């Protein structure tokens, strides 16, 4: 060993030199250094002045700006041996546990900084509580905050396959009460339970179509269960109140009201099967005893037997267009040949006045009421 090698290169432990007198002094100095650095623990790291009183064996990390006995010893490990202070200059990478902070600090070559543990691939992490195999991440507290670092934030729950589960489970007394997510498929669902055993899918959204389902949604066209949400194909609103009416087995499957015109008349149909047809029909002379016209309904009825008629003679038109019997004569309106698609309207001269003359005509406002189904 070279006589110029006075201390170890890492911890600067003094070496005993050949033929050295009082070898115990050098040996004890090395042990004193090891006593500080092996399982290194400091009381604190924020002092600039030595504490009073001083306990033998006390170790401190001198904060920047050391004063009095610590002047010029910034960031060193200051240990007291009962008679005075001894200072050890750290090297980059040294680690010390600080009791006042409750964590390790590492010297980076300039300052002591909090040691960052490696949190990758941990078997479990408990914050305020213990983790276990079923819950490798466990948190106990009044709230858990997930926030952004400047813009938005996403919480991602990934599953391996469509048939697996990716969900949020809400519990009461460790018993499930509500769950939302994709469970057993890629359809999104909200499920509820009163006891943690029997579950009801209250709301679901089909992954392919986006349409809604579940117990909270109207189950059929005749479902009027209180509290259920109406479906667009079962309920009525501005988009389907008016349109083509239809029914199956007495249950409406189309719009509520349908209306239109055809053949010189108008019609209105209701979802309950009622149909009303109206028109203004001009009756012309057939012979001296009657005026007549055929009426083809703008929409056919279901059966002739269900049809009832009402006819109103236009007095002004009659007075202007009839040279034969006047309004004071005895006239008899009549409907014949009623079918599902039309009828013949007649106006007879019963008595009084003269016969209908060539060119005579009369306008009638007629109404037919029946059923379209």
Residue at 53 is within a domain: yes
Please give the average per-residue pLDDT across 274-284, as a whole number. Answer: 97
Residues 367 and 289 grouped into a single domain: yes
| Per-residue confidence (pLDDT) for residue 20, from 0 to 100 | 72
Give the residue ranges of DSSP H helices in 15-135: 23-37
61, pLDDT greater than 90 = yes
Residues 48 and 108 grouped into a single domain: yes
Please give the average per-residue pLDDT across 159-179, as a whole number. Answer: 97
Please give the average per-residue pLDDT across 310-319, as a whole number. Answer: 92
Q: Where does a domain end: 114, 139, 171?
A: 114
Residues 34, 11 contacting (CB under 8 angstroms): yes
Residues 280, 367 contacting (CB under 8 angstroms): no
Q: Which residues of 49-58 are buried (b: 16+ CB within 10 A; e: fewer)?
A: ebeeeeeeeb
Q: Tell me the pLDDT band of 350, cut-offs 50, 70 and 90.
A: confident
Residues 189 and 271 grouped into a single domain: no
Residues 265 and 363 grouped into a single domain: yes
Please give the average per-residue pLDDT across 123-135, as a whole number. Answer: 94
How is residue 302 written in tokens? 């279901």
Residues 221 and 179 grouped into a single domain: yes
Residue at 208 is within a domain: yes
Residue with tokens 């349409």: 211
Residues 218 and 271 grouped into a single domain: no
Q: Which residues contact 299 (CB under 8 A, 6 or more apart)?
A: 260, 262, 267, 269, 275, 277, 372
Q: Which of 21-25, 38-42, 117-121, 137-141 has the highest mean pLDDT?
A: 137-141
Residue at 121 is within a domain: no
Residue at 154 is within a domain: no
Hey, is 316 helix, strand or coil?
A: helix
Residue at 135 is within a domain: no
Residues 362 and 283 grouped into a single domain: yes
Residues 203 and 106 grouped into a single domain: no
Residue at 228 is within a domain: yes
When divided into structural domains, the chain yields a total of: 3
Residues 263 and 346 grouped into a single domain: yes
Q: Where does a domain end: 99, 114, 129?
A: 114
Q: Tell me the pLDDT band of 11, cut-offs 50, 70 and 90.
A: low
Angle at 164 (CA atoms; ends 170, 119), nearest 5 degrees? 70
Rounded to an integer, what distance in angstroms lies between the CA atom of residue 231 and that of residue 147? 37
Residues 268 and 215 grouped into a single domain: no
Residues 287 and 217 grouped into a single domain: no
Please give the average per-residue pLDDT across 252-269, as a whole number. Answer: 93
Query: Which residue segment(s) compose the domain that 264 sits in?
Result: 259-371
Q: Where does a domain end: 234, 251, 268?
A: 234
Q: Which residues contact 9 (CB under 8 A, 6 or more apart)?
A: none
87-115 pLDDT, tens digit per residue, is: 988 989 889 999 999 899 999 999 999 98
Nearest partner of 303 among 330, 332, 340, judged by Cα? 340
CATH of the domain at 294: 2.60.40.2080
3, pLDDT greater than 50 = no
- Percent above pLDDT 90 for the chain: 68
Residue at 195 is within a domain: yes
- Percent above pLDDT 70 for the chain: 90
Rounded to two decimals, the pTM is 0.59
Residues 351 and 267 grouped into a single domain: yes
Residue at 136 is within a domain: no
Lowest average pLDDT, out of 4-13, 268-277, 290-299, 321-330, goes to: 4-13
Rounded to an integer, what distance in angstroms lies between the CA atom of residue 206 and that of residue 222? 23
A 10 A CB-CB count for 311 gives 16
């Amino acid at each position: 060993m070279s006589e110029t090698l006075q201390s170890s290169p890492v911890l600067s432990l003094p070496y005993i030199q050949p033929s050295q007198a009082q070898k115990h002094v050098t040996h004890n100095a090395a042990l004193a250094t090891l006593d500080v650095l092996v399982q290194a623990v400091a009381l604190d790291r924020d002092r600039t002045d030595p504490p009073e009183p001083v306990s033998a064996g006390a170790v401190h990390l001198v904060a920047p700006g050391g004063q009095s006995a610590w002047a010029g010893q910034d960031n060193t490990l200051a240990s007291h041996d009962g008679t005075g202070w001894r200072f050890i200059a750290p090297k980059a990478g040294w680690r010390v546990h600080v009791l006042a902070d409750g964590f390790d600090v590492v010297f980076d070559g300039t300052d002591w900084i909090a040691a960052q543990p490696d949190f990758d691939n941990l078997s479990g992490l408990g914050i305020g509580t213990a983790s276990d195999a079923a819950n490798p991440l466990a948190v106990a507290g009044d709230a858990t905050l997930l926030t952004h670092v400047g813009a938005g934030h996403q919480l991602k729950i990934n599953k391996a396959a469509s048939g697996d589960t990716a969900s949020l489970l809400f519990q009461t007394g460790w018993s499930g009460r509500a769950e939302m997510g994709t469970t057993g498929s890629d359809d999104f669902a909200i499920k509820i339970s009163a006891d943690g055993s029997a579950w009801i899918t209250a709301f679901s959204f089909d992954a392919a179509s986006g349409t809604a389902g579940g117990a909270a949604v109207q189950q059929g066209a005749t479902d009027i269960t209180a509290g259920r949400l109406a479906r667009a194909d079962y309920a009525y609103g501005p988009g389907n109140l008016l349109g083509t009416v239809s029914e199956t087995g007495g249950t409406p499957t189309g719009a509520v009201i349908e209306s239109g015109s055809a053949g010189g008349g108008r019609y209105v149909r209701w979802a309950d099967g009622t149909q009303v047809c109206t028109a203004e029909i001009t009756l012309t002379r057939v012979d001296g005893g009657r005026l007549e016209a055929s009426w083809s309904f703008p929409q056919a009825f279901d059966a002739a037997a269900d049809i009832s008629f009402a006819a109103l003679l236009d007095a002004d038109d009659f007075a202007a267009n009839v040279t034969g019997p006047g309004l004071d004569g005895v006239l008899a309106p009549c409907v014949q040949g009623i079918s599902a698609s039309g009828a013949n309207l007649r106006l007879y001269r019963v008595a009084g006045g003269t016969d209908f003359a060539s060119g005579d005509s009369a306008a009638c406002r007629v109404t037919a009421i029946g059923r379209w189904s």
